[in-house]
Structure 1
Amino acid sequence: MINKMEWSKMINPTVRSLPPSGIRKFFDMVTEIKGVISLGVGEPDFVTPWHIREGCIYSLEKGYTMYTSNQGLLELREAISRELDTTYGVTYDARRELLVTVGVSEGLDLAMRALTCPGDEVLIPEPSYVSYAPCTMMAGGVPVHIPTSVEDNFRLTADRVEAAITPRTKILLLCYPNNPTGAVMPKKELLAISEVVRKHNLIVISDEIYDKLTYTGEHTCVPSLPGMRERTILLNGFSKAYAMTGWRVGYAAGNADFIAAMTKIHQYTMLCAPITAQMAAAEALKNGRSGMQQMVQQYNRRRHLVMQAFSEMGLHCFEPGGAFYAFPEISATGLTSEEFAERLLMEEKVALVPGNAFGPSGEGFVRCSYAASVDDLAEAFRRMARFVKHCGVKVKTVVNL
C-alpha cells in the first residue's frame, strides 16, 4: 500500500518536474485582492463582436450541436485557406493541409507530439511564451533557449540560430509578433534564418496568433518564404484579433504528412473543436475584418499612450511593434522582476507579470498588457508612477493618459 504522502511518486516524472505557469501562479494572488487593475493576462478587453456571437446563436437555433469532422468544418477550413492565400499568398489544401484545433495551445501540443522524438532539441527564442518549454518537455523533447535582448530589439538572428544547432536539433519554434516583448521580425532577418533552417534541414513551428496586431511594418508569414512552406507548421487562431479567447478555436496549416500526424492525436484526444465555436470563427472570417481593424486601431492608440507613460515615469521601455504587450525595464527600481510585480500588486493593486516568468532573459523586466480600457490604463499608470517614485526612480512628470 502507498500512504498518502507518497502518491506524488506515481506521477509521471516529466510532469512532476514542470514548474507551474509563471503567469497563472502569479494571478492566483490577484483573485484574492479586491480593487486590482489587471494588466497581466493577454486577453482583449473587447467583447466578441455581436455578428460573431449571433452566428453562434443562429447555429444553435438551427440545431447544430453535433460533432464535426476531426479536421473541423470544411466551410471553416476553406475560409482559412482563402484568408491565408489572399493575405500572404500561401496556399493550403483545405481537405488535407488544414486542421482546426481547440485554440492555438492545442495546435502547439499536437505539433510537438507529432514531430518530437525523445531527446530531440527544440530551439526557443527567449523571452518566450510560458507554454513552449513545457510542451516540448511533455513531448519528450529538450528545450534549448536562445536569449534575445533589448539591445537587439528582442529579435532572433540567423547567427544565434546557427550557433545553437547541434546534431540533435530538430525544430525551431518562432512567435512573432512576440509574446511577451511585442517584438516583430523584419522579412530580411527571417529570410536569413530560413537559409539556416534549410541548410540544417530543420522544421519550423511558427506561432503567428498576433499577426493581425502588427503596427510597424508588415507581418511576414513564415511559410510564405522561399522553401519554407513544406517544412513549417503555421499556428494561428481567432482569440486575439477577433476577441474570441473563450471560444477556443485555432488552426494548424502545414504539409499533408504533418497535418495527418497531428490529426491522429487530435482525433484520439479532443476529437474536434466545438461546432458552435467553429461556426462563429467562420463568421469572423466572412464579415469580421472591419470590427477587427477597429480593435487593432484602439490597441495601437493605447500602445502609444503606454510608451509615453513609461517614459514619463522614468522607466525605459522597448517599443513593441506588435501584439498588445509592453516589456519595460524595471532594474532602475533596484527590485527583481518578482519583487516589483508582487510589491506593485500588494501596495498599489496593479497586476503585471514578472519578466522571469518568460525565462531568465526576462529578468529585469515586467510584462504589461495594454488590452485594457484607457481609463483602467490611466489609473494603473498613476498608481505605478507613485510606486516607482517610492522606489527612488526620478519620475519626470505626472503620468496622465
Structure 2
Amino acid sequence: MKEKMIEAFKKAEGGLFSAVEKADVGSSYQEMEKQGVSLMGWADPFMPDYSMPPHIETALIETIKNPIAPHYTAPIGNEKLKEKIAEKLLKYNKLDVNPSRNILITPGSDSGLYFAILPFINDGDEVLIPSPSYPNNFLDIQIMGGKVVSVPLKEENNYQFERETFENLITDKTKMILLTHPNNPTTTVFNLESLTILSELVIKHDLILVCDQAFEDYCYDNEFITPAAMPGTFERTITVFSFSKGMGLSGLRVGYLVCSDVIMDSMFANAVSVLGATNTACQIAMIAALENPSFMKEFESAFDFRRKKAYEIINSIPNVSMQLPESGFLCWVDISKLGNSTEIVNYLVTEAKVSVNAGVNYGAGGEGHLRIVLGVYKDNQRVVDALLNIKDALIRLQENKNV
C-alpha cells in the first residue's frame, strides 16, 4: 500500500519497522527514560516534571467542569483569547492588529506552521530555508511537493544573513522564504541588519515570508525584532506563534497565526477542514496565562543559568565547542572533530546515559553538531549533572581514540 502514497509519505518511517533517529517520531525515545537515560532532545520545557503555574491550572480545571468544556470553540479561535494576544502583539512584537481579522488560533504551532505554508506551495515551487533549521520546515515543504533550497548560515558569521548568499539562490521558481526566528537549533537571534536584508529581498522578489517565532520569549543579549513589523513586510508575512516554549505549556496544544486580512480571509475559510477547532478549555487557560505571565521570569532565570553553565562545561571539553546560546533553552555543539553526529549521539546514550539530537536532522550545516535541550527537568542540578556526564564521556572517547 505504501506504493500508492505520495513520495514524501512513501519514504517516511515512523519507527514501527525500523529504528528512527528523530526524538519526536515513534515511542522509542521515551522508552529510554525507563533505562535511566536523561532525555535532552525534546524541546518541552521542564519535561517530565510538573511546571504548570497555579493560576493556569485553576483556569483549566474550572473550565473542564464548565458545561462549555466538551463543545467546540469556533475554528478561528476564542475571541477573548485573540484580544489578549493582540495586546501582547502590540507590546512585545510592535504589531498593531485587529484580533477579529488578523489572528487565527491553532492546535499548536506545528499544525499552524503547516497551515501557514499550505496556501502557497504548488509542485515545484522553491522555498528558501536558512539552514541549519527546524526539521519540520524541510518536511512540510516536501510533503506539499515543493523544493527545499537551503541557504547556508555560517558559524563564522554568527549564523547571520548574507545578502549575496540569498540573492544567488533566488530563481523564477522561488515562492517563499521560511524562517525560524530565533533559530532552532543554533539559537540565533537575527539582528536588524539580517532582517533588513530579509525584508528587502522579500519585497524586491515578490515573495511570501513564513516566520516561526516559537522561541521568541527569551532573548538574552540581543534585541528581538519581529520580521512582520519591518517596513512593507506585514502584507506578505504569516507569523507562527506558540505558547509551548516560553510558557512551558506544550501539552495544551495552543498556538496562533498572525497575518493580513487578505491572507487570513482564505485561512478562516479553510481552518475547519485542515485544523479543526483548538481545545476549548486550553484556550481559556491561555487567557489566564496572558493575563498574568509573571511566572515566565522564573523560567527565564533557570534557562539563563543553564545556557551559561552549558557554555562553561561544553567548552572545557577538548576539541568540542559551542557559542553562548542567544535565546531559549537549546545549545548547538560542534563535535565535528570527534565523529559524525549520529555516532556521537548513540555513544552518549550508552556511555553518558544522556540522549541528545543529531545535527544531521537539521539540514545543511547540521552534520558535525549536536542539539542539546537545556530546558528539561525542573531541577537545574539535574541538567548540570547530565552535561558533566556528557563531558566525561566525550573525554573518554578521545582518550580511547587517541585524539
The TM-score, its normalising length taken from structure 1, stands at 0.92
2:94 matched residue in structure 1: 89
1:360 matched residue in structure 2: 364
Deviation at residue 173 of structure 1 after TM alignment: 0.8
Distance across 1 between alignment mates of 2:174 and 2:165: 14
Give the number of equivalent residue pairs.
Answer: 386
Distance across 2 between alignment mates of 1:19 and 1:62: 41
1:379 maps to a residue whose letter is: D
1:211 and 2:212 correspond: no
Distance across 2 between alignment mates of 1:98 and 1:25: 30
2:6 maps to a residue whose letter is: N
1:172 matched residue in structure 2: 177
Q: Which digits, 9 at most, give the CA deviation of each residue in 1:217-276, with x for residues without a partner?
A: 211011110001111101102001111000000000001122222233321133210111
Distance across 2 between alignment mates of 1:103 and 1:198: 29
SS in structure 2 at match of 1:361: coil
1:387 and 2:393 correspond: yes
Distance across 1 between alignment mates of 2:28 and 2:161: 32
Structural mapping, 1:263-278, within 5 Å: 263-278=268-283
1:42 maps to a residue whose letter is: A
Distance across 2 between alignment mates of 1:60 and 1:28: 32
2:22 matched residue in structure 1: 22
User: Any gaps of 5 or more consecutive residues in structure 1?
Assistant: 1-6, 395-401
Distance across 2 between alignment mates of 1:67 and 1:239: 22
Instruction: Name the Cα RMSD after superposition.
Output: 1.8
1:377 matched residue in structure 2: 383
1:57 and 2:58 correspond: no
SS in structure 2 at match of 1:190: helix
Q: Rate the CA distance shift 1:336–1:114 in 2: closer, same or farther, 3 A.
A: same
Judge which range, 58-67 or 98-107, deviates more.
Answer: 58-67
1:348 matched residue in structure 2: 352
Say which of 230, 243, 250 aligns to 2:255.
Answer: 250
Answer whether contact 1:26 1:353 (CA < 8 A) is retained.
Answer: no
SS in structure 1 at match of 2:72: coil
User: Any gaps of 5 or more consecutive residues in structure 2?
Assistant: 15-20
Distance across 1 between alignment mates of 2:312 and 2:27: 26
Say which of 235, 243, 246 aligns to 1:241.
Answer: 246
Deviation at residue 377 of structure 1 after TM alignment: 1.7
Answer whether contact 1:126 1:361 (CA < 8 A) is retained.
Answer: yes
Deviation at residue 67 of structure 1 after TM alignment: 0.8
Deviation at residue 56 of structure 1 after TM alignment: 1.1
1:117 and 2:112 correspond: no
1:3 matched residue in structure 2: none
1:4 matched residue in structure 2: none
Deviation at residue 393 of structure 1 after TM alignment: 6.4
Distance across 1 between alignment mates of 2:236 and 2:279: 29
Answer whether contact 2:94 2:226 (CA < 8 A) is retained.
Answer: no
Deviation at residue 23 of structure 1 after TM alignment: 3.2
Distance across 2 between alignment mates of 1:124 and 1:353: 20
Deviation at residue 73 of structure 1 after TM alignment: 0.4
SS in structure 2 at match of 1:392: helix
2:152 matched residue in structure 1: 147
1:330 and 2:335 correspond: yes
Distance across 2 between alignment mates of 1:323 and 1:159: 29
Deviation at residue 88 of structure 1 after TM alignment: 2.6
Distance across 2 between alignment mates of 1:30 and 1:245: 16
Judge which range, 54-63 or 124-133, deviates more.
Answer: 54-63
Percent identical among aligned pairs is 27
Distance across 1 between alignment mates of 2:399 and 2:366: 20
1:9 and 2:3 correspond: yes
Q: Which digits, 9 at most, give the CA deviation of each residue in 1:155-180, with x for residues without a partner?
A: 23222221211101111011111111
Answer whether contact 1:18 1:134 (CA < 8 A) is retained.
Answer: no
1:40 maps to a residue whose letter is: G
Answer whether contact 1:206 1:234 (CA < 8 A) is retained.
Answer: yes
Distance across 1 between alignment mates of 2:117 and 2:392: 44
Answer whether contact 1:122 1:172 (CA < 8 A) is retained.
Answer: yes
Answer whether contact 1:235 1:250 (CA < 8 A) is retained.
Answer: yes
SS in structure 2 at match of 1:31: helix
Distance across 1 between alignment mates of 2:208 and 2:119: 12
SS in structure 1 at match of 2:67: coil
1:161 and 2:162 correspond: no
